[in-house]
Amino acid sequence: MKKFERLDGLVAPLDRANVDTDLIIPKQFLKSIKRTGFGPNLFDELRYLDEGYPGQDTSSRPLNPDFVLNQSRYQGAQVLLARRNFGCGSSREHAPWALDDFGFRVVIAPSFADIFYNNSFKNGILLITLDEATVERLFQETEASEGYRLDIDLDAQTITTPSGDVIAFDADPFRKHCLLEGLDDIGLTLEQSGAIRDFESRHRAAQPWLFRDA
């Protein structure tokens, strides 16, 4: 997977709670059999005024001027600031694929839905959970000053604001390690093939009905 070490990135605020994965990438785009190309349809129903369909040239579609990612000051944003329970609903990994394809490398929110959380890490996207008050403060600062950037250091587990304030964040040690090294977790798991085979034969002996090829 893609490595993540450090990023100094422009921040875009998405001021809305319970953003579900249907909203991040609507179902009509899930028909693709590829992992790439979802960026133009990220937040499709919020971003455009018309209904999108797969394979369309999005450059000629009418943009919703009120949607934050359409505003010129947030072009090129790599850090998405969001509200609680971000990524709830469907397990579609197309949601992090779309965020990644659009250019986001980090999402900061007070909480994330579980499946989305896993899916994002598998794609080298760093999710940072901060308390509501800190997130609120970042929203205010982002909206107040154009060009607001955050310097995010995964190894040190810190976010540095433009004024030099340092905010610490928690990171799961295994995921942090994988992100920093860009590790392929299937390869890692296969290193434990022996342990898996041992488990499997014990499991088969105890509950043979779980195996249909006996």
Partner 1 sequence: MSSRTLYDKLWAQHLVTSRDDGSALIYIDRHLLHEVTSPQAFEGLRLAGRKPWRRDANLATPDHNVPTTLKERSAGNAGILDSVSRIQVETLDANCESFDIEEFRINDERQGIVHVVGPEQGATLPGMTVVCGDSHTATHGAFAALSHGIGTSEVEHVLATQCLIAQKMKNMQVRVEGKLGLGVTAKDIVLAVIGRIGTAGGTGYAIEFAGSAIRELSMEGRMTICNMAIEAGARVGLVAVDDNTIEYLRGRPYAPSVEQWPAAVEAWRNLVSDEGAHFDKVVELDAAEIEPQVTWGTSPEMVVNVSATVPDPAGASDETVERGMKRALEYMGLEAGQKITDIQLDKVFIGSCTNSRIEDLREAAKVARGRKVADNIQLAMVVPGSGLVKRLAEAEGLDKIFIEAGFEWREPGCSMCLAMNADKLGAGERCASTSNRNFEGRQGYGGRTHLVSPAMAAAAAIEGHFVDVRDYDYAPAATMSA
Considering only residues 162 through 191, tell me which ones interact with partner 1, judged by CB under 8 A: 172-175, 185-186, 189-190
Among 56, 64, 70, 123, binds partner 1 (CB under 8 A): 123
- Nearest approach in angstroms of CB 181 to partner 1 is 14
Question: How many Å separate Cα 48 from the centre of its chain?
Answer: 21
The answer to whether residue 16 forms part of the interface with partner 1 (CB under 8 A) is: yes
Considering only residues 62 through 101, tell me which ones interact with partner 1, judged by CB under 8 A: 83-85, 88-93, 96
Q: In what order do the strands lie in the sheet with 158-160?
A: 126-129, 106-109, 79-81, 6-13, 149-153, 158-160, 166-168
The answer to whether residue 207 forms part of the interface with partner 1 (CB under 8 A) is: yes
For strands 79-81 and 6-13, give the pairing.
parallel
196 neighbors 202 (Cβ within 8 angstroms): no
| Residues forming a β-bridge with 127 | 107
If we measure between CA atoms, which residue out of 82, 94, 80 comes closest to residue 26?
Answer: 94
- Nearest approach in angstroms of CB 15 to partner 1 is 8
Length of the chain: 214
Among 7, 20, 37, 180, binds partner 1 (CB under 8 A): 20
> Which listed range, 56-64, 69-77, 154-162, 196-204, lies at the site for partner 1 (CB under 8 A)?
196-204
If we measure between CA atoms, which residue out of 108, 144, 154, 119 comes closest to residue 3?
Answer: 154
The residues that touch partner 1, with contacts defined as CB under 8 A, are: 15-18, 20, 22-23, 26-28, 30-35, 45, 51, 54-55, 83-85, 88-93, 96, 111, 113-115, 118-119, 122-123, 172-175, 185-186, 189-190, 192-193, 195-196, 199-200, 203, 206-213
